[in-house]
Amino acid sequence: MIKNKNFKLLLFIFLGLFCLAAGNTESWREKKSEHFIVYFTQDESFAQDVLNAAEKDYRRIAHDLGYARYSEFWTWDKRVKIYIHPDRESFLKATGQPSWSEGMADYTNKQIVSYVWGKDFIESLLPHEIAHLVFRDFVGFVGQIPLWLDEGVAQWEEEAKRSNMKKLIQRYYQQDNLLLISDIMKLNIEHLKDKQGVLIRATRTKDGKDGVLFLSANNLVEIYYLQSVALVGYLIEKYGSQAFSGFCRELRDGKNVEEALKVAYPLHIRSLQEFEDGWREYLKAGS
């Protein structure tokens, strides 16, 4: 009797492992373009839409960042791989991502992974993650690259959201709810996730007076990300892609943000204070 129970238990475990392995095995098909390979299991039409959008995004992002294309960049065996799982459940099972995740990017191996979820994937997550990959190819992982710049670039390249983001930053500006740029430079939002209660931050009003913000951790993170994309947008729209490229290159080569700004924008931004002043004038002109 004991032997029979043991046999049944072993059989159950074996079948469970077999089913798990089978569930993790994807019969990937692929579509290729100059810079990308899209892997998919079904919905070939969606895969083609992803491939077309990825090529368009790549060219626009490289142009926006002033990143001159060099020989064989993201071509042949260096192409970025995009894996599209058939549904959310299979994506979460294969990647181990948290339940709220819609996709992920592996910057080291140049991979983007998500599932078939339609329009928002193509308009939001895809350009966001491609921007991260292009930006990191440009600046590397060694220099002093602040989080606000990395995330600001990725959000800026979600082109479909730009208009709304500009409206939101104008609203925060009018309400005197913006962080000081000097504060953003040293703020580590990773430490804010589990913070409770009210957080106090310095600010500056539209008429140049010192002020104080009383924020929850969620409010602070929201303002941080929104202000990050607004700062990147200001640098690119006001002074152009080539100057922005020079700014990123100086960071890549080891300069801190203030030093890099001085070199890239010698006539306009020679300190964090001038960065703040110029950005606020830019917001005022757009209000």
Pick the closest to residue 57 from 132, 137, 168, 150 (CA basis). 132
121-156: b (≥16 Cβ within 10 Å) or e: bbbbbbbbbbbbbbbbbbbeeebbbbebbbbbbbbb
The count of other CB atoms within 10 Å of the CB of residue 57 is: 24
Whole-structure pTM value: 0.84
185 exposure class (CB count in 10 Å sphere: 0-12, 13-18, 19+): middle
Report all structural domains of the chain as residue ranges with CATH numbers, in order of start: 29-139 (3.40.30.160), 147-286 (no CATH)
Residue-level pLDDT, tens digit, the chain, 287 residues: 434 444 344 433 333 433 333 334 468 999 999 999 999 998 899 999 999 999 999 999 988 887 765 545 788 888 999 999 999 999 999 999 988 888 888 888 899 999 998 668 999 999 999 999 999 888 887 777 899 999 999 999 999 999 999 999 999 999 999 999 999 998 888 777 667 788 999 999 999 999 999 999 999 999 999 999 999 999 999 999 999 999 999 999 999 999 999 999 999 999 999 999 999 999 999 86
